[in-house]
Amino acid sequence: MRSQLDRVLRETEKVIVGKRKVIGKILAALLAEGHILLDDVPGVGKTTLAVALSRAVGLSFRRVQFTPDVLPSDLVGFSMYDKATGDFVYRPGALCRANLILGDEINRASSKTQSALLEAMEERQVTVDGKTYPLEAPLIVMATQNSVGAAGTQLLPYAQLDRFLVRLSLGYPDYEAQMTMLRDRQLGNPMDGVACVMEKEELLAMQQEVRSVASGDAILDYITRLTMASREHAALQLGISPRGALFLNRMAKANAFAEGRDYVTGGDVQQVFADVCAHRVLLKETVRETSVEQVLEELLRKVENPDRRGFFSGIRK
């Protein structure tokens, strides 16, 4: 399992250089069947990453460039009148028949389009004219948000941000990475060299295995205490929701799986905590000096970790 993930990682790294950590997290999110929000400046390779990933894993890929005039029907499909038969025929939208969807600049879409997308993400099905069409099994939405040039955009409301499993950011490559990238792209596109190293079915099987990773009472206790502490934190207006706690557990499981374990440790929770929770909490307006990241770090520091807490459950689930 580990080796397969490594291979995917290596294939993807051919295109996105020096971002091993973020790619690893994205893979973990894939395993946890969650959606990913990439919050980044333009041109750091979000699309490239998505394409490379879909090629390496053998997922069908589709890209939607959101603008204010993209309509829900563009995403979920629409029924069209067929003159020959005199019937309405369903024309599938962008979400259908795709496993990995890159929703570029999701904050530029109108709010009704956003909510159509988010509904499909949550329920993994679309309903058009009263008929429900299930979407293909691994459905992963990678949405991007540009933090600059946000004028005239619709920022995702917190209720909807909550549906993304993780919020990540690629960031600029360092000197070495950028040199390598420039050198690689002198002659051709390295994207052509990305091979498919994993089948879609394998990914589904892995997702199944991630679900069966053991997350004992000690860990659940830790997650609960973390989230409750966030709700009581003085600097936070909005703490981590129960869904956030669920996602935290799921992502921790995926992280444990990616590290080749079949049980979650406190370390897994800590590693994914900031990625899973940073977009779920809201600072109070009166708080100026501190950032969300600092608050989350403080929570990790303050809340007694399960090692320290020290109860030996010893019994699986």
Partner 1 sequence: MNRRWIGFAVWLLLTVCLYFFENNAGTRIVMLCTMLIPLIPLCRQAFFSRDEAGGGISRPPAVRVSGRREMEESGNVRAYAPGDPVGRIHWKLSVRKDELLIRETDGYGAAEEETAEAPAEDGQGIKAERRLVAGLVSGMLLCTALLLLIPEANRGAQALCNRIFAESEKANAYVYDYFPVPEGQSCILAACLAGGALSALAAVAAAVRSGPLILSVMAACTLFQVCFGLPFPAWVNVPLYGLLSLRMMKRPWRRGSLLACGAAVLLVSLLVLILFPGADAATEAASEAVRDRLSLMAQSVMDTVSETREGETETRHVHTRSLNAGEDEAGTDRVFRLVTVEEEQVSMPHWVNWLKAILPALLGIALMILPFAPFLLLNARKRKAQESRKAFLSGNVGEAVCAIFRAVISWLDETGHGRGNLLYRDWADQLPDLFPDGYAARFARCAEDFEEAAYSGHPMREDMRRRALELLRETETALWKKADWKQRFRLKYWKCLYE
Binding interface with partner 1 (CB under 8 A): 214, 216, 218-219, 261-267, 270, 301-308, 310, 312-317
Nearer to partner 1, 125 or 313 (CB): 313
**CB 72, CB 32: distance < 8 Å:** no
Nearer to partner 1, 138 or 216 (CB): 216
CA distances from 216 to 304, 312, 314 (A): 16, 10, 9
Query: Cβ of residue 307: shortest distance to partner 1, in angstroms?
Result: 5
Query: Cβ of residue 304: shortest distance to partner 1, in angstroms?
Result: 6
Indicate if the alpha-carbon torsion angle 95, 98, 100, 105 is positive or negative.
negative
Nearer to partner 1, 133 or 263 (CB): 263
Structure letter (DSSP) for residue 289: S
**CB 103, CB 120: distance < 8 Å:** no
Structure letter (DSSP) for residue 263: B
Nearer to partner 1, 114 or 215 (CB): 215
Q: What is the dihedral of CA 228, 230, 233, 237, to 10 degrees?
A: -110
Query: Cβ of residue 306: shortest distance to partner 1, in angstroms?
Result: 8
Nearer to partner 1, 146 or 227 (CB): 227
Query: Cβ of residue 150: shortest distance to partner 1, in angstroms?
Result: 38
Query: Cβ of residue 312: shortest distance to partner 1, in angstroms?
Result: 5
b/e code 5-22 from CB counts within 10 Å (16+ = b)? beebbebbbbbbbbbeeb
**CB 132, CB 76: distance < 8 Å:** no
Nearer to partner 1, 76 or 296 (CB): 296
Query: Cβ of residue 205: shortest distance to partner 1, in angstroms?
Result: 21
